Amino acid sequence: MLKDFIQKRLEHYVRQYFKTHPEVKLVAVAGSVGKTSTKVAIATVLARQFRVRMEDTNHNTHMSAPLAMLGIEYPENVHNIPAWISVFWAALKRVKQPTDVDVIVQELGTDHPDEIAHFMSYLQPDIGVVTGVTPEHMEFFHDIETVAKEELALANGSKLAIINRDDVDGRSATYMENASIDTYGSTSAAEYRIEIDNFDIAHGYDGRVIAPELQEPLPVNVRVLGEHSLRPVTAAITVALKLGMSGKALADGVEDIEPVNGRMNVLRGLKDSILIDDTYNSSPASASAALQALYALQGPQKIAILGDMNELGDSSAAEHEALGKLCDPAQLAWVVTVGEQANKHIAPIAKSRGCQVKVCANAIEAGEFVASVLEPHAIVLAKGSQSGIYLEEALKIVLHETHEDHDLVRQSPKWQQTKQEFFESLNS
């Protein structure tokens, strides 16, 4: 098949590139949660001292990842043979020319078992970062042990593995074969961590980096929200230290880090409210962490808009019910649910715990409801998956300025058309 031929050629060029340019370091990122935030944090910090290549879209599939690593644009028409011939010429040129980067940071995604193993068949990352082993794509993986084997295939195929101590259960060590391992996280159990001194939502976290390479803790300011948002930053610090980055450049790079759109990104809302935009995707681990971050903030009114967590397979009902049990009436003025699973499983559990609950048919209805009950200086968290949920459209209704919708996810003309058709289909 043409697709298989193209895939093999792309992988061949990537192999040749790293063979021809052994000085270029490859940092690969995999895991159930936080891949993109971790990838961006690593690239941001390293850019203070190195020439870095990172594809800023989620080009992490088998067809697109090789092009992202080579810095070649993915063809718009994948069935256009002349376009692929041009890609092959560009790839050959990239192999033969002097390199223009020092480090390549690449996200590796997986939807089915053995996809990471396939990446490892033609890659050997200098550093492999595993961000977490938590439920994902459970309709294909079925159990957490299979998820662990899949994600840790990156660690086993890398020269050095860096593991998130907080989101990779110690039992997963059974599947580790690589003896070169370091751990990062937000607790003292990790070798690389940030100890926090103080926090405010405008300024972020002031803290100190603790690491074996540092004789003394390194003061840093991290402008993110939520303990779980510190973990991608700590991963970036770990990678930077492993690549020999200096202390000042490291601290400056950490200050450069900003939340990725749709991932715990703080926006201005109506009535001087604070909007926490975590709408890119949702999973049990990330939804729980987002709620805990909301609870840690002080505000006169807190509202959680919770959408379906997709791709959980047979565990979906139990995971949504577990999230409902985390809804605290002492913390939340309203729990607003969107989606079949959220409405069926989160809403009744949250209500039984004493929460005020509003069940909504779609994100538009949720946004309109929140706007109607919003109090001055409120804090609103929106957490949901993409397909059929699109909670960014709820936040759009309560943004302080409509022109700030460029800070939301999925705002391209193509996405807008997809969402318009989806919302219209609900009314047909």
pLDDT tens digit sequence for 195-212? 999 999 989 999 999 999
Listing DSSP states for 65-94 in one string gives HHHHHHT-PPPS-TT-HHHHHHHHHHHHHH
How far apart, in whole angstroms, are the C-alpha atoms of residue 246 and residue 258? 21
Confidence label for 169 from pLDDT (cuts 50, 70 and 90): confident
Mean pLDDT over the full length of the chain: 92
Instruction: Return the pLDDT at 406.
Output: 87
Q: For 2-256, which CATH superfamily applies? A: Mur-like, catalytic domain (3.40.1190.10)
**For residues 126-143, average pLDDT:** 80
Q: Worst-scoring range by mean pLDDT, 39-48, 165-174, 331-340, 354-363? A: 165-174
* pTM recorded for the entire structure: 0.92
Instruction: Give domain limits for the chain.
Output: 2-256, 265-427
Confidence label for 57 from pLDDT (cuts 50, 70 and 90): low
- Does the pLDDT of residue 137 top 70, yes or no? no
Confidence label for 110 from pLDDT (cuts 50, 70 and 90): confident
Q: Considering only CA atoms, which of 378, 427, 169, 387 is closest in space to residue 274?
A: 378
- Does the pLDDT of residue 59 top 60, yes or no? no
Name, of 107-116, 125-134, 230-239, the range with top average pLDDT: 230-239
Provide the token pair at 338.
């969107």
Instruction: Return the pLDDT at 97.
Output: 94
Q: Considering only CA atoms, which of 87, 89, 82, 93 is closest in space to residue 72?
A: 87
Instruction: Return the pLDDT at 167.
Output: 85
Instruction: Return the pLDDT at 301.
Output: 98
Percent of the chain with pLDDT over 90: 74
Instruction: Return the pLDDT at 246.
Output: 87
168: left (phi over 0), alpha (psi -120 to 50) or beta: beta
Please, what is the Cα angle at 231 between 226 and 232, to 5 degrees?
105
Provide the token pair at 210.
């603790």
First and final C-alpha spacing in the chain = 40
Asked if residue 177 lies in contact with residue 201, where contact means CB atoms within 8 angstroms, the answer is no
Span 232-253, pLDDT tens digits? 999 999 999 999 998 899 999 9
Q: Worst-scoring range by mean pLDDT, 81-95, 123-137, 307-321? A: 123-137
How far apart, in whole angstroms, are the C-alpha atoms of residue 419 and residue 211? 45
Helical ranges in 374-412 per DSSP H: 392-398
Span 259-283, pLDDT tens digits? 999 999 999 999 999 999 999 999 9
428, burial (CB in 10 Å: exposed 0-12, middle 13-18, buried 19+): exposed
Span 366-418, pLDDT tens digits? 999 999 999 999 999 999 998 889 999 999 999 998 777 889 999 999 899 99
Characterize 199-224 residue by residue with b for buried, 16 or more Cβ atoms within 10 angstroms of its Cβ, and e for exposed. Answer: beeeebbebebbbeeeeeebebebbb
Span 151-160, pLDDT tens digits? 999 999 999 9
Instruction: Return the pLDDT at 402.
Output: 74
How far apart, in whole angstroms, are the C-alpha atoms of residue 17 and residue 3? 21
**For residues 118-127, average pLDDT:** 97
The SS3 of residue 232 is: helix
Span 285-323, pLDDT tens digits? 999 999 999 999 999 999 999 999 988 888 899 999 999
Q: Considering only CA atoms, which of 424, 389, 425 is closest in space to residue 409?
A: 389
Q: Kindly provide the residue ranges of all beta strands, DSSP E only, lying in 260-412, ordered along the sequence.
A: 265-268, 274-278, 302-307, 334-338, 357-360, 379-383
DSSP-based helix, strand, coil % in the chain, nearest 5: 45, 20, 35
Instruction: Return the pLDDT at 207.
Output: 96
Provide the token pair at 57.
């879209």
Q: For 265-427, which CATH superfamily applies? A: Mur ligase, C-terminal domain (3.90.190.20)
Asked if residue 341 lies in contact with residue 309, where contact means CB atoms within 8 angstroms, the answer is yes
Asked if residue 43 lies in contact with residue 257, where contact means CB atoms within 8 angstroms, the answer is no
Please, what is the Cα angle at 194 between 199 and 229, to 5 degrees?
65
Confidence label for 135 from pLDDT (cuts 50, 70 and 90): low
How far apart, in whole angstroms, are the C-alpha atoms of residue 353 and residue 190? 35
**For residues 159-176, average pLDDT:** 87
- Does the pLDDT of residue 112 top 90, yes or no? no
List C-alpha distances in Å: 72 to 7, 180, 231: 14, 32, 30
- Does the pLDDT of residue 60 top 60, yes or no? no
Q: Residues with Cβ < 8 Å from 97, sequence gap 6 or more?
A: none
Q: How many residues does the chain have?
A: 428
For residue 28, report the phi and psi dihedrals to the nearest 5 degrees: -110, 145
Q: Kindly provide the residue ranges of all beta strands, DSSP E only, lying in 1-41, ordered along the sequence.
A: 25-30
Compute, in degrees rounded to 10, the torsion defined by CA atoms 269, 275, 280, 283: -150
**For residues 161-189, average pLDDT:** 88
List C-alpha distances in Å: 237 to 32, 173, 333: 20, 23, 37
